[in-house]
Amino acid sequence: MSSILLPALILIFGAFALPMVGKRLRPLLLLGLPLLTMAQIWSYDTGTVSVIGFLDYQLMPLKVDSLGRLFATIFAIMAAAGGLYGMNQKRIIELVAAFVYAGSAIGVALAGDLITVFVFWEMMAVASMLVIWSADTDAAYRASMRYVLVHLLGGVVLMVGIVWQVSSTGSVTFSAMQADNPARWLILIGFLLNAGAPPLSAWLPDAYPEASYSGTVFLSAFTTKTAVYVLIRGFPGEEILIFVGLYMIFYGIIYALLENDMRRILIYSIVNQVGFMITGIGIGTEMALNGAAAHAFTHIIYKALLLMSAGSVLYMTNKRKCTDLGGLFRTMPLTMICGIIGALAISSFPLTSGFISKSMISQAAADESLMIVWMLLAAASAGVFLHAGIKFPWFVFFQKDSGLRPSDPPMNMRIAMVIMAVFCIGLGILPGPLYAILPYPVDYVPYTASHVLNMLQLLLFSGLAFFLLLPMMKRTLTITLDFDWFYRKLMPKFTNGLIATFSPLDDAIRQGVVNRLKGLFVVLGKLQQGEGILARSQQAGNMVMWVIVVLCAYLAFYLFY
Amino acid sequence: MSVDKKEIEELHWLVRADTIRKLWLGGCAVLGVLVLAELFVDPHPYFGIDGKFGFNAWYGFATCAAMVIGAKALSLLLKRADTYYDTTDKGSETDNV
């Protein structure tokens, strides 16, 4: 198996060629590297395993099965689409970081052991931080620092869990487990942190919107969905995930409803959508896991499309607050249409990709007679239309006339949006190809008259609620406090208080020590000055006498002891 | 970047009062048709309550209204000016293109 080339490495090493080639060749690499990676992923049959020895362990940096291949495939598609969209990005470091980030995500998806997972996991944290950082603003820099601190904390938790797990079982294999001991709890917590689970969900809306117009598109795809992947593989059917997922669903809706920043609205909806997937993983049946995996696949596409649409608005107007936007449908028709298609897909509208994936999770809840879960998922489906399906396009493209008259973005960005929009509708109309590559055989028909009618009722009456309650949703120049308040406000306040309290004592101690040292130096100085004992010249006879004394003392010590 | 200035001066057909009224009427008609369609389509309920007439219509509306009102109530507690973190760690809003 020594001839195996890890698909992840094509993107990771290929990324470093991007700054070295000229403007003409770079687009070829931006599209060619992900496509080459994709070809490499599909060149391996399921069941292909590469094994290498490391210390006393057998690592599996490549283990191809249908679940891993599904995620690696969508990550490669996303890298290509993001590369196309970001082709005119002047800060090449962002593209390099984004490709390393995408490659690392593919590395996680195809890893067969926990150590390989961890290595690529941490590479993702560093690369994604660089994507944020490369926006080159103070806000982005500070957000990236907070982001990486949260992720390094998660990484430490995960590492401790993995080391504990490996030392107690003697195996590094990454396979399904139950959170029934502290090692596995830590692994689960480490995974969940990257999924945006509570209480540390705030890193997502804090950091992602600070990236550039193209950086946020990349960021939306990899970290949270790799977390979904490892949870599907590592903790299927873990019941607590149902509660975690439901919390994330409603957290995302409520916070998005209150948000004014168009991209932050969409980032909150990532938490919301990942919540659906986590709930599915918690239910744990084949239908639910297929639903979670399919929804991750479709979500990456429509979320990228939504953020491409928002990124295009930001690129052309330099504005991101709903209060500053509105009426852009007049001059950005393509961006608006693509944004609406993404919004319909995230809302699971019939004939869009969300409809054929998310409904599998609800179906699984119904199959397992989980009535409350099913009811909450139905309410959440309506809520998605409310907070993302209508709110985003309404406040950005319609609402009021902001007076802004930007045109649609450059050609490469338009093509990227159109491709993703075609994917959204194509998968919605023809779900067969996606169903064929899901981890388990699919026995599900999304298009029944009752399902379509039920969903249309749910969504359109949600729309009615939106427009009737529109006065309550008037955008204001506000943010909503989240858990990050503890480390952005309370902890600095606390540490500043500590400094204010103890700095006088600290000053007094330092001053006391300095004063004593000064006194000592004065005494030592006197010894070396004028007639000081160390400044006097000594006769050679005196020195010989003292040498004899020391030698005699040494001899006596040697003889008697 | 800017488009024809004439367009700025004219009120786009989509935002005229007459169009908006028609959109409301059309939207309400669609909602009515969707509810009435349930007379002809078996909703295939899983639990009983979802078999009630127009369940998804009223449930979708009621839960969304509850979420909007709930969010509004929560905002009384958690809403702050968007310059809240500025003194410590926020930058400008538009400099990350």
Cβ distance A106 to A123 under 8 Å? no
A320 reaches B (C-beta below 8 A): yes
Candidate from B65, B89, B94 with C-beta closest to A142: B89
What is the pLDDT averaged over residues A9-19?
95
In a domain, A467, yes or no: yes
Q: Are A415 and A503 members of one domain? A: no
* Cβ distance of A448 and B56 shorter than 8 Å: no
List of chain B residues whose C-beta atoms are within 8 Å of the C-beta of residue A398 = 14
* Interface mutation target, options A149, A287, A390, A460, chain B, most CBs of B under 10 Å: A460
In a domain, A198, yes or no: no
Q: Are A296 and A427 members of one domain? A: yes
* Cβ distance of A450 and B41 shorter than 8 Å: yes
How many CB atoms within 10 Å of residue A58? 13
Give the domain-ending residue among A417, A450, A477: A477
What is the pLDDT averaged over residues A71-87?
97
Q: What is the pLDDT of residues A411-456, one digit of tens each?
A: 999 999 999 999 999 999 999 999 999 999 999 999 999 999 999 9
pLDDT of A367 higher than 70: yes
The alpha-carbon gap from B9 to the nearest alpha carbon of chain A, in Å, equals 10
Which residue would you say has higher pLDDT here, A125 or A530? Answer: A125
The alpha-carbon gap from A135 to the nearest alpha carbon of chain B, in Å, equals 5
Candidate from B59, B74, B79 with C-beta closest to A478: B79
pLDDT score, position A533: 73
Candidate from A403, A405, A463 with C-beta closest to B3: A405
Q: What is the pLDDT of residues A509-556, one digit of tens each?
A: 999 999 999 999 998 888 877 777 777 777 777 888 889 999 999 999
CA-nearest residue to A213 within chain B is: B97
Q: Are A278 and A399 members of one domain? A: yes
A456 reaches B (C-beta below 8 A): yes
Question: Chain A window 204-263: which residues touch B at a Cβ cutoff of 8 Å?
Answer: 210-213, 250, 253-254, 257-258, 260-261
In a domain, A317, yes or no: yes
A168 reaches B (C-beta below 8 A): no
pLDDT score, position B86: 81
Kindly state the tokens that stand for A264.
């932050």
pLDDT score, position A403: 87
What is the distance between the terminal CA atoms of chain A, rounded to a whole angstrom? 69
What is the pLDDT averaged over residues A397-403?
89
pLDDT score, position A243: 97
The alpha-carbon gap from B43 to the nearest alpha carbon of chain A, in Å, equals 5
Q: Are A382 and A405 members of one domain? A: yes
Q: Are A330 and A436 members of one domain? A: yes
Give the domain-ending residue among A477, A498, A530: A477
Number of domains present in the structure of chain A? 2
Candidate from B49, B65, B97 with C-beta closest to A469: B65
Candidate from A140, A407, A457 with C-beta closest to B60: A457
Candidate from B69, B91, B94 with C-beta closest to A319: B94
List of chain B residues whose C-beta atoms are within 8 Å of the C-beta of residue A403 = 8
Candidate from A139, A465, A480 with C-beta closest to B92: A139
Q: What is the pLDDT of residues B3-14, one digit of tens each?
A: 555 555 578 888
Q: Where are the alpha helices (DSSP H) in A170-261?
A: 182-195, 203-207, 215-219, 223-234, 240-258
The alpha-carbon gap from B18 to the nearest alpha carbon of chain A, in Å, equals 16
pLDDT of A368 higher than 90: yes
Identify the H or E element spanning A556: helix A540-560
pLDDT score, position A454: 94
Q: How far apart are CA A249 and CA A243, in angstroms?
A: 10
Q: How far apart are CA A559 and CA B1, in angstroms?
A: 99
| Side chain identity, residue A518 | K
pLDDT of B1 higher than 70: no
* Cβ distance of A211 and B89 shorter than 8 Å: no
* Cβ distance of B63 and A382 shorter than 8 Å: yes
Q: Are A556 and A421 members of one domain? A: no
What is the pLDDT averaged over residues A392-398?
93
pLDDT of A44 higher than 90: yes
**Distances A324 to A317, A320, B86 between C-alpha atoms, Å:** 10, 7, 19
Place of tokens 């820099």: A141
pLDDT score, position A1: 46
pLDDT score, position B9: 53
Q: Are A458 and A327 members of one domain? A: yes
Q: Are A381 and A448 members of one domain? A: yes
Q: Are A442 and A504 members of one domain? A: no
Candidate from B43, B57, B63 with C-beta closest to A450: B43
In a domain, A545, yes or no: yes
Kindly state the tokens that stand for A239.
């019941």
In a domain, A245, yes or no: yes
Give the domain-ending residue among A421, A452, A477: A477
pLDDT of A397 higher than 50: yes
* Cβ distance of B59 and A213 shorter than 8 Å: no
In this prediction the ipTM stands at 0.84
Q: How far apart are CA A405 and CA B1, in angstroms?
A: 8
Q: Are A442 and A302 members of one domain? A: yes
What is the pLDDT averaged over residues A63-80?
96
Q: Are A452 and A310 members of one domain? A: yes
* Phi, psi torsion values for A369, nearest 5 degrees: 60, 35
| Structural domain spans, chain B | 1-41, 45-86
Q: Are A402 and A546 members of one domain? A: no
CA A258 to chain centre: 22
pLDDT of A362 higher than 90: yes
Candidate from B56, B67, B85 with C-beta closest to A458: B56
The alpha-carbon gap from B78 to the nearest alpha carbon of chain A, in Å, equals 5
pLDDT score, position B88: 53
Q: What is the pLDDT of residues A145-199, one digit of tens each?
A: 999 999 999 999 999 999 999 999 989 999 999 999 999 999 999 999 999 999 9
CA A293 to chain centre: 17
DSSP A19: G
pLDDT of A80 higher than 80: yes
pLDDT of A351 higher than 60: yes
Q: What is the pLDDT of residues A312-331, one digit of tens each?
A: 999 999 999 999 999 999 99
The alpha-carbon gap from B90 to the nearest alpha carbon of chain A, in Å, equals 5
Q: How confident is the model at residue B97 (pLDDT cuts 50, 70, 90)?
A: low
The alpha-carbon gap from A204 to the nearest alpha carbon of chain B, in Å, equals 15
What is the pLDDT averaged over residues A282-296?
97
List of chain A residues whose C-beta atoms are within 8 Å of the C-beta of residue B30 = 460
* Interface mutation target, options A206, A461, A484, chain B, most CBs of B under 10 Å: A461
Q: How far apart are CA A278 and CA A93, in angstroms?
A: 33
Q: How far apart are CA A86 and CA A221, in angstroms?
A: 14
Place of tokens 């609205």: A265
CA-nearest residue to B34 within chain A is: A457
Q: What is the pLDDT of residues A472-522, one digit of tens each?
A: 888 888 888 888 898 898 999 899 999 999 999 999 999 999 999 999 999
Chains A–B, number of C-beta pairs less than 8 Å apart: 202
Angle at which helices A333-346 and A411-429 pack, to 10 degrees? Answer: 30
Q: Which domain holds residue A525?
A: 488-560
